[in-house]
Structure 1
Amino acid sequence: MIQFRFFFILYLFFFAGFIALAQTPDSFISHKVRKGETIDFLIAKYGITIPQLKEYNPSIESLGIRKKMNLRIPVFQLKKPPIITTSISRPSLEYITHEVAPKENKWRLAYQFKTTIELLDSLNPEIKTGLKVGQKIRIPKTIFFKPIPEKDSIYNYYKVLPKEGFYRIKKKLGVDQVLLDSLNPNLKETGLIAGMILKIPGGQSGNYKIEDDLLVERVNLVDSIFLKEEINFSLLLPFKANEIVFDSVEDTKKLLSARNLHTLSLDFYSGVIFALDNINKKGLKVVLNIYDTENNYSKLDEIVDELVTKRTDFIVGPLIPSNFDYVSNKKVIENIPKINPLSTNPVVSRKNVYQSITTAETLRKKMFTYLDRVIDTTQNVVIVADSLNRSIEKQLKTQFPWAISLRPQKGDYILSELADSLLVDSLPNKVILETQSFPLIANALSQFNAQNSGDRKVQLFTSYRSNAYNNENLTRKVLGGINFTYPVGFKPLNYSSNEIFIESFEKRFGKRPNKESIRGYDLVMDLILRTAVSDNLEKSLEFGETQYRSNRFLYELDENESFINRALFLLQHRGYEILEIKE
């Protein structure tokens, strides 16, 4: 009986397959592929097999299914096989009921079940405004992937936009079709479909924000409608032109080749001018009033008296915090936004004062949150803090009570024997370095790089990366050797994705942009666009975070009606690369 049943099933299988493959179509139906349709959908709809579909549409092999593709669908009139009576009906799409779990969202479900957000919305109109825990929704039945981790440390995810092709995605994210196909196996079969979710390498996010692992487009003020046709602003910089002896070419060259207030002001100013060049192309008129503060209080008084007589949307500067505080304290200009442009040192919080540089306090707070997520009791934690950072050491010890303190010597160096004894082979070693001393930074990097070999793994963190790390002797190779990880308000410019910007700047000013010139460009570009789009600076804060070449801006209301920039980057050196990591 069992043997008979076995041969009966074999007969059905091969006979049905023979009919399906051997039959000549009686006719064809033309089908134009719609958004969200897949090969599984089509064969289910028309009651045919994948080989039959591909036989009369060979382009599917190389292109997959694409929206608006015209397909020839074969139509067969199946005859009943002799002796055996069978009834053949077209299968229809099947759905399952899914109960929404905590922390699930639509894009994760779309990825997990190989569907699109748009299709989920069409099947469940009640979820267009969002999902609710415990809610029961309809999802197309399919073979689904393993659910995405709550925090995916390796990949990001991207929602395909309408009419978006592989070329546009590569321009946005730097990910080509070959890599997309390897990370998303169903892509060869379906092609790109608006609303589908793609897996993307974690290090490639383009100019997008990362929200819950999904890449989200940032606010684009450049292409927004301008409410103001003309922007007037004043720039206060310590050019100190009165100190330059222009009669001596050699002395002038020597002065301008060194790092001082003259060169700092000129670099920042070049970035401002380059921003205005780009703004003018948008048809927006900008009037710039430039003042040399001469780093002198009497000169500042003269400038303030003149500012009162002018129409001014905002004031950028002075650069030096003490001079900035002196100007911001003037009652006659308290209603004009005043932006502290470059210094990380805090300024006095007063009405309409904007601290545009992310403060050390903000950076440390974010880093402590990150460290709490990536460090646990299964790791060997070592804290290296100098005498000026004892309070930070105390906070870290409270957060990680099992951590070991390694105190540096008076000459700002670490005893190699002590470092060797405190690091272990059996556990990952997480070292937190808290200092603004270059000698100690250089010594610590050398010591821990030497320890990071074989079975001993060492990673270095800091909650505040001061300017001491900008020393040219600290190479990317050294920092990348121990995956140096830190929070910062400025991300180094990537040449490959900013090639046109860098070359245009070099053609205009005769040298490549540095940190100060990029800061001048980003800051002024943001201030002008915010004011033009919203009519005034404070109203623009509702736009949230903006990003330009190397700087982000997310202003929040602070004490005394002042505002502070909370935006930052969490960066990690890996080899010779600097990558942004997820918070």
Structure 2
Amino acid sequence: MRNFLATLLIAFTIGLSAQNYIEHKVQSGETIQTIAKKYLVTPFDIYALNPDAKKKIQPNTVLIIPNSKIKNEPLIENKRELTGYKTHKVKRKETIYSLTKKYGISEEELKKANRHLYSENLKKGDKIKIPQFRTITSKRTLNNTVKKYTVQPKEGKWRIAYKFGVSVAELEALNPNMNSVIQPGDILNVPNIKDQEEKAIEASFGYYEVLPKETFYGLKGKLNLSQEQLEQLNPELKATGLKAGMVLKVPDSSTKDITSAEIVDVKITNLRRNLTNFKTKKIALMMPYQLHKIDVDSVEEAKDRIKNNKLLSIVLDFHVGVLMALDSAKHLGISTDLKVFDTRYHAAITSKLLAENDFSDYDAVIGPMEEQSFDRVASALKADRIPVIAAMNKPKQVYSNVFQTLPEDKLLRKTMIDFVKADSLKKSVVIISDRANKLSSESLQKEFPGSKLILSRLDKKNKTKDAYFIYHTELENIFSAGKTYVFLETNNDSFASSVISMLNGFIDSKTEIILTTLKKGKAFEGKNIDNINLSNLKFHYASVYKDYDESKNNGFVKAYRKAYGVSPSKYVARGFDITLDLLMRLASAENLYEASGDTVETEYIENKFRYTTDFFGGYVNQAFYVVKFDDLRVVKAN
């Protein structure tokens, strides 16, 4: 057996020698990519001869490297052949170095001909042999591992590098004369891999080259993709990690404008007609009640804390809505086993709850509210496919088991742009913006050719600081008879209040001004904002929820008023709507995933829901409203 292995090893070594392969000892810090670049080969060439290198290479590992395969034409090689020796008598002051220069030979060649020089110094009077050489020029043809590839339409360096599993730098090394911008029809050298090993290029994806020292954290901010999402799209990352020069496949949507999202109009589905699954639903409600901070022995202190703690007030309102939804579902024959968990708005406490409780048989989990806590719950329950409902917040990552109930801002923005575009009666569009929203407002202006953009004034003393005001004269002669839409883009309530007040002064019997915004924030809810002015301007905006219609018979509102003596807040309504929708969907299918197709749109007291699959498999609500101020009420706009 030993003789057989020895024979095999000798045969393998002779074979490598015959093909003129190179041995390379891996140094600390080297990667397959850097070694490939050093020898002007591709990583594929190295992996073909060193399969174990695909896993991990250690310092001092010996790799077999093939000859450079860049040139397809024969290589010109000069070879020195020994023809004989001449004798030289050493003179005073002559050295080995001076003799190598005099005769055009190397120090090694001189010592090899005079072996005593390996251990002795050169002495005057010594007679030494000087080797004589002749140069033989020959041509050698390489067995290339590259092939020719014709560049296709819409293909750039990144896409081609990704397709053949090399970096852009390696592609450039294979093509020294490649143009900086390649064109369809260009002929390139690419690794000669099998067709089935070529990575597919998909039009719906973009391709990104990793920069030196770039990290997953940095890419999260740049591409809005987590490490898990990047590894899902590029499985080789799990083995190799992130390396400079590698080309990653990324969703093309990460570079699209916010207004490119699709908006679909779907009829409301009445799930009451579809109830078939009446098994008891096991639901977990994880909210930051922070009960450890409440002195249950002091009723007055507890009441005072609830009154003055805004977070606790929101949580308790939502909780009441959840309980009312359970009662409504019960009347429909849907029974619920509800377990309540106090996350204390703390990620460590949430992790402890996960460790101490088995959630594998739950139908769904609502919450938590805190971002890091939600992420831990969703990640922990993903393997068991337990749906986790983001009820009050937008998660930083939509895992495959996450249901995000708040629509994305880009859809709300596109809705308002399309709404204004669809109004054939409008005469003009004006955009008023503070400096913080300058870029988005300039982008908005491109959506409405001929529109006018007015930016807030800068501080007179500090020209880089926003003064948050415009002059009344800047609005004069802008509004003519007919309908004008005004987009007000600001996060500053004093600026919003000032502009809204000014706009009201330009309304008359012939001039209709309709106020709108791409994103309604707290600036439109400040203490100086007059709702009468907003009603005069028929303020329009896209919203996650609408106010319930008090003129209609509403059992939910009646029940709440009867129990608590006041009208329900939007948080009570949201807790009710999300929970009732969850239970109705679970009762209309085998599980929440089957009940959440994008053709199913539901509507309740103040909210509606239509889930579409996120790129990475989670679910995001795409149902919302366009509402307007009308006689001091917020109503659905047509």
**What is the rounded CA distance, in whole Å, between the counterparts of 1:311 and 1:285 in structure 2?**
16
1:436, distance to aligned residue in structure 2 (A)? 2.7
**What is the rounded CA distance, in whole Å, between the counterparts of 1:295 and 1:323 in structure 2?**
8
Q: Is the 8 A contact 2:497 2:529 kept in 1?
A: yes
Moved more, 381-390 or 262-271: 381-390
Alignment-derived partner of residue 97 in structure 1: none
Residue of 317, 329, 334 corresponding to 1:279: 329
1:324, distance to aligned residue in structure 2 (A)? 1.4
The answer to whether structure 1 residue 425 and structure 2 residue 466 are counterparts is no
Alignment-derived partner of residue 570 in structure 2: 515
Alignment-derived partner of residue 604 in structure 2: 548
1:379, distance to aligned residue in structure 2 (A)? 2.3
Structure (1 or 2) with the larger CA radius of gyration? 2
Residue of 351, 371, 380 corresponding to 2:420: 371
The one-letter code matched in structure 1 to 2:576 is Y
1:465-484 aligned at under 5 Å gives the runs: 465-471=520-526, 474-484=529-539
- Cα distance per residue 1:200-219 (max 9 Å; x no partner): xxxxxxxxxxx99xxx9731
Alignment-derived partner of residue 393 in structure 1: 441
- Cα distance per residue 1:421-452 (max 9 Å; x no partner): 25333453321011232222222221211221
Alignment CA distance shift 1:508-1:492 (3 Å):
same
**What is the rounded CA distance, in whole Å, between the counterparts of 1:452 and 1:413 in structure 2?**
23
Alignment-derived partner of residue 207 in structure 1: none
Q: Is the 8 A contact 1:419 1:447 kept in 2?
A: no
Q: Which sections of structure 1, spanning at least 5 residues, go unmatched?
A: 1-210
1:544, distance to aligned residue in structure 2 (A)? 1.2
The alignment partner of 1:428 has SS state of strand
The answer to whether structure 1 residue 347 and structure 2 residue 403 are counterparts is no
Alignment-derived partner of residue 531 in structure 1: 586
**What is the rounded CA distance, in whole Å, between the counterparts of 1:401 and 1:570 in structure 2?**
23
The answer to whether structure 1 residue 260 and structure 2 residue 260 are counterparts is no
The one-letter code matched in structure 2 to 1:573 is F
1:346, distance to aligned residue in structure 2 (A)? 4.9
Quick one: percent identity of the two aligned structures?
25
- Cα distance per residue 1:272-298 (max 9 Å; x no partner): 000011111122210001001001122
The alignment partner of 2:322 has SS state of helix
Q: Which sections of structure 2, spanning at least 5 residues, go unmatched?
A: 1-263, 459-465
The alignment partner of 2:616 has SS state of helix
The one-letter code matched in structure 2 to 1:254 is D
TM-score, normalization by structure 1: 0.59
**What is the rounded CA distance, in whole Å, between the counterparts of 1:515 and 1:366 in structure 2?**
22
Q: Is the 8 A contact 1:430 1:461 kept in 2?
A: yes
The alignment partner of 1:357 has SS state of coil
Q: How many residues align?
A: 367
1:310, distance to aligned residue in structure 2 (A)? 5.2
RMSD: 2.5
**What is the rounded CA distance, in whole Å, between the counterparts of 2:455 and 2:522 in structure 1?**
22
The answer to whether structure 1 residue 492 and structure 2 residue 542 are counterparts is no
- Cα distance per residue 1:190-243 (max 9 Å; x no partner): xxxxxxxxxxxxxxxxxxxxx99xxx9731112433223211111110111111
1:76-95 aligned at under 5 Å gives the runs: none
The one-letter code matched in structure 2 to 1:434 is E
**What is the rounded CA distance, in whole Å, between the counterparts of 1:281 and 1:472 in structure 2?**
42
TM-score, normalization by structure 2: 0.54
The alignment partner of 1:570 has SS state of strand
Q: Is the 8 A contact 2:431 2:454 kept in 1?
A: yes
1:368, distance to aligned residue in structure 2 (A)? 1.6
Alignment CA distance shift 1:468-1:521 (3 Å):
farther
Residue of 286, 289, 292 corresponding to 1:236: 286
Residue of 423, 439, 442 corresponding to 2:497: 442
Alignment CA distance shift 1:302-1:267 (3 Å):
same
The answer to whether structure 1 residue 564 and structure 2 residue 614 are counterparts is no
**What is the rounded CA distance, in whole Å, between the counterparts of 1:263 and 1:535 in structure 2?**
35
- Cα distance per residue 1:342-400 (max 9 Å; x no partner): 12x45312111111012211111222222222268x72321112233223212211111
**What is the rounded CA distance, in whole Å, between the counterparts of 1:229 and 1:235 in structure 2?**
19
**What is the rounded CA distance, in whole Å, between the counterparts of 2:575 and 2:399 in structure 1?**
23
**What is the rounded CA distance, in whole Å, between the counterparts of 2:527 and 2:549 in structure 1?**
18
1:312, distance to aligned residue in structure 2 (A)? 0.4
1:442-461 aligned at under 5 Å gives the runs: 442-461=497-516
The answer to whether structure 1 residue 404 and structure 2 residue 452 are counterparts is yes
The alignment partner of 1:288 has SS state of strand
Alignment CA distance shift 1:374-1:570 (3 Å):
same
Q: Is the 8 A contact 2:346 2:370 kept in 1?
A: no
- Cα distance per residue 1:16-69 (max 9 Å; x no partner): xxxxxxxxxxxxxxxxxxxxxxxxxxxxxxxxxxxxxxxxxxxxxxxxxxxxxx
1:178-327 aligned at under 5 Å gives the runs: 218-309=268-359, 311-327=361-377
